[in-house]
Chains A and B, each alone.
Chain A
Amino acid sequence: MPRSLRYLLRRLAQAVPIVLGIAIFNFMLVHMAPGDAVDVLAGEAGGANPEYVEQLREQFGLDQPLPVQLGKYLWSVASLDLGFSFRHNMPVVDIILQRLPATLMLMVCAIALAFSLGVFLGVTAARNVNRVLDRVISVGALLAYATPIFWIGLMLILLFSVRLGWLPSSGMETIGADYSGWARVVDLARHLLLPSVTLALFYMALYTRLMRASMLEVYGLDYITVARAKGVPERRVAYRHVLRNALLPMVTMLGLQVGSLLGGSVLVETVFGWPGLGRLAFEAVFQRDFNLLLGILLLCSVLVVLVNILVDLLYARLDPRIEVAG
Chain B
Amino acid sequence: MKDELMAFAYRFARNRPAMAGVAILATVFLMAVLAYFVYPDSPWDMVAEPFLWPGQERAFWLGTDMLGRDLGAGIFHGARVSLLIGFVATLVAVIVGVAIGALAGYYGGWMDNVLMRLTEMFQTIPPFIFAIVLVAIFQPSVATIVLAIAVVSWPAVARLVRAEVLSLRGREFVQACVAIGMNDARIIFLHILPNTLAPVIVTGSLMVATAILTEAGLAFLGLGDPNVMSWGTIIGAGRDVLRSAWYVTAIPGVAILLTVLALNLVGEGLNDALNPRLKHR
Contact = CB atoms under 8 A, between A and B. Distances in A.
B57 interface: no
Interface in A259-299: 259-260, 262-264, 266-267, 270-271, 281-282, 285-286, 288, 290, 293-294, 296-297
Contacts of A300: 125-126, 129
Interface of A: 17-18, 21-22, 25, 29-30, 32-34, 142-143, 145-152, 154-155, 157-158, 162, 213, 216-217, 258-260, 262-264, 266-267, 270-271, 281-282, 285-286, 288, 290, 293-294, 296-297, 300-301, 304-305
Closest 9 pairs (CB-CB, A-B): A263-B128, A151-B253, A259-B126, A146-B261, A146-B260, A262-B126, A33-B137, A285-B136, A21-B121
Nearest to B261: A146
Interface stretch (B1-9, B163-171, B215-223): B215-223
A154 B234 CA distance: 13
Interface string B246-266: 100110010011101100110
A155 B253 contact: yes
A293 B133 contact: yes
Contact of B235 (A22, A33, A150): A150
Interface string B12-32: 000000000000000000000
Given A162-B242, A281-B132, A293-B136, A305 B124 contact: yes
B279 interface: no
A25 B121 contact: yes
B60 interface: no
B130 A158 contact: no
25 contacts: A21-B121, A22-B121, A25-B121, A30-B137, A142-B265, A147-B257, A148-B216, A148-B235, A150-B216, A150-B217, A151-B249, A151-B257, A152-B253, A157-B242, A158-B246, A162-B242, A216-B281, A259-B126, A263-B127, A263-B131, A264-B128, A281-B132, A286-B222, A297-B125, A305-B124
A136 to B, nearest CB: 14
Contacts of A34: 138-139
B161 interface: no
A282 B220 CA distance: 11
A22 B221 contact: no
Contacts of B216: 148, 150-151
A30 B217 CA distance: 23
B273 interface: no
B58 interface: no
Contacts, number: 137
A260 B128 contact: yes
A213 B268 CA distance: 13
B147 interface: no
B239 A266 contact: no
- Of A25, A29, A154, which is in contact with the most chain B CB atoms at under 10 Å from its CB? A154
A22 B124 contact: yes
A159 to B, nearest CB: 10
Contacts of A30: 137
A32 B209 CA distance: 30
Nearest to B258: A146
A51 to B, nearest CB: 28
Interface residues of B, number: 45
B32 to A, nearest CB: 18
Given A259-B125, A262-B126, A297-B125, A148 B256 contact: yes
B117 interface: yes
A149 B235 CA distance: 12
A217 B264 contact: no
B129 A281 contact: yes
A233 to B, nearest CB: 25
A295 B142 CA distance: 26
A297 B131 CA distance: 10
Contact of A145 (B118, B221, B264): B264
A267 B256 contact: no
B213 interface: yes
B242 A158 contact: yes
Contacts of A33: 137-138
B243 interface: yes
Contacts of B242: 154, 157-158, 162
Given A32-B137, A146-B209, A146-B261, A266 B221 contact: yes
Nearest to B268: A142
Interface in B128-166: 128-134, 136-139
